[in-house]
Chains A and B, each alone.
Chain A
Amino acid sequence: MSVLDKIFEKAKQNPQKVAFPEAMNEKMMQAAYEAGKDGYIIPILVGNGAEIKAAAEERGYDASVFTIVDINEEEYKNKVIAAFVAREDTRLKEKALGRRMQDPLYYAMAMQKVGEVDVTFAGIDYTTGDVLLAGQMIIGLKEGISTISSIGLCDIPGYEGSEGSLLAVGDSGVCTNPNPEQLADIAISACETVQGLLDWEPRCAMVCYSTLGSGQGELIDKVKEALRIAQEKRPDLNIDGEFQLDAAISPAVAAKKVKRESKVAGKANILIWPDLNVGNIAVKLIQQFGHANAYGPMLQGFSSIVCDCSRGAPVSEIKGNIVISAVRAAGLKN
């Protein structure tokens, strides 16, 4: 059973309510419909109710699969606004939120913030920037976390690591040049993301060009400081370093280079890159030379799950990412 099959199976056991603020987009509606009809999620389409209803009928979808939330319907909107402003962890007040909620993306996220849906799925018409900004404004960052970041899940043919062919890596997509505190938060968030999605015991390695002092310089100092902060903030998590990539994932190399006890060295299932240059290049190397499938990016650091889907993604990939986000949302409840 592939990793995606396992995630799909997990979704079916506990389908989550997923809001779609881009329901009029044909690919998005199809992916939402297929994921809903197959029982992986409960799709909630947010937008102009009459338009969505007409489009769904025209496209031949069974209307009973969808719940449609009409953003022009005042009574429900006011209920969401009242619940939102009553929360202590929100910033916008009634009037400002009401204005923002004329936009389906903000409407869906406000529903998520007050628990009417479990996750918002967007990004096919909205840009990544739109989704990140709305997420910061409405959902907010997780307490104690200073930055939004992302991880990807790589399925690498022929790789025999501590989780078989799978390896989680981050951040390869969002945080350009994290300072030590941000880098620590990326590692902590990554541990929580893989716990929620895959039930792994996280073993997170902070990688750079040095293993336990074999190299020196400011690039390494940043990683060491990030490690210190991460370990201090979350001593319950297995976060270790600083390691070179081979010392992180190869037991033989770890045995030679890491002369102290480590729960991570040689068997890391998460790699944290020092910056986005490394992260972007590393993922491309894994894909180009390792012929890996890379799932994600999965956004992390928000107080609940915020998703961004690739604008050029085919329906099958969108569906996969919808289901991944639903399983992450379910994992967050545990």
Chain B
Amino acid sequence: MDRKELEEKIIELVSVAYKTDNVTLETSFKNDLKGASVQMVALVSEIENELDATIMLADASACSTVADLVDLVEDEL
């Protein structure tokens, strides 16, 4: 999976977990999505299921934007 495909896949998973459209790489978890930890758990679970990458929830929670999350997952693949 190249970077572009990974970005698209993660944007799709974020959209599903947070039940929202218009997610981009610049979307901020804190300011734009304002999600609870429950949604981040759902997101991490789906990343593990769909991408075969085990990422730590604490690391995912520390991501500021969707692009940061893509970087994190890319490191694990």
Contact = CB atoms under 8 A, between A and B. Distances in A.
B11 interface: no
* Chain B contact residues: helix, strand, loop or mixed: helix
Name the prevailing secondary structure of the A interface residues. Answer: helix
Q: Give the size range of B's interface with the partner.
A: 10 to 19
A133 interface: yes
Interface stretch (A3-11, A26-34, A92-100, A264-272): A92-100
Contact of A133 (B46, B52, B57): B57
A96 B49 CA distance: 6
Given A91-B49, A96-B49, A133-B57, 13 more contacts: A91-B41, A91-B42, A91-B46, A92-B45, A95-B49, A96-B52, A96-B54, A99-B54, A129-B58, A133-B41, A136-B37, A136-B38, A146-B38
A235 to B, nearest CB: 25
Contacts of A99: 48, 54
Nearest to B54: A99
A96 B48 contact: yes
Contact of A96 (B41, B42, B45, B58): B45
Which 6 A-B residue pairs are closest in the complex by CB-CB distance? A96-B48, A91-B45, A93-B49, A136-B41, A133-B57, A96-B49
A65 to B, nearest CB: 35
Contact of B57 (A92, A137, A141, A146): A137
B69 interface: no
B36 A92 contact: no
B14 interface: no
A300 interface: no
A141 B38 contact: yes
A321 interface: no
Interface in B26-51: 36-38, 41-42, 44-46, 48-49
Contacts of B41: 91, 133, 136-137
Contact of A100 (B37, B46, B54, B58): B54
A137 B45 contact: yes
Contact of B58 (A93, A95, A133, A141): A133
Interface centre among B44, B45, B58 (most CB of A within 10 A): B45
B17 to A, nearest CB: 10
Contacts of A91: 41-42, 45-46, 49
A91 B48 CA distance: 10
18 contacts: A91-B42, A91-B46, A91-B49, A92-B45, A92-B48, A92-B49, A93-B49, A95-B49, A95-B52, A96-B45, A96-B48, A96-B52, A99-B48, A100-B54, A129-B58, A136-B38, A137-B45, A146-B38
Listed residue (A92, A96, A129, A137) with the most chain B CB atoms within 10 angstroms of its CB: A96
Interface in A104-141: 129, 133, 136-137, 141
A20 B29 CA distance: 35
Interface centre among A91, A95, A99, A129 (most CB of B within 10 A): A91
Interface in A56-97: 91-93, 95-96
A147 interface: yes
Nearest to B57: A133
Contacts of B46: 91
A54 B54 CA distance: 32
B5 to A, nearest CB: 20
Contacts of A95: 49, 52
Nearest to A181: B36
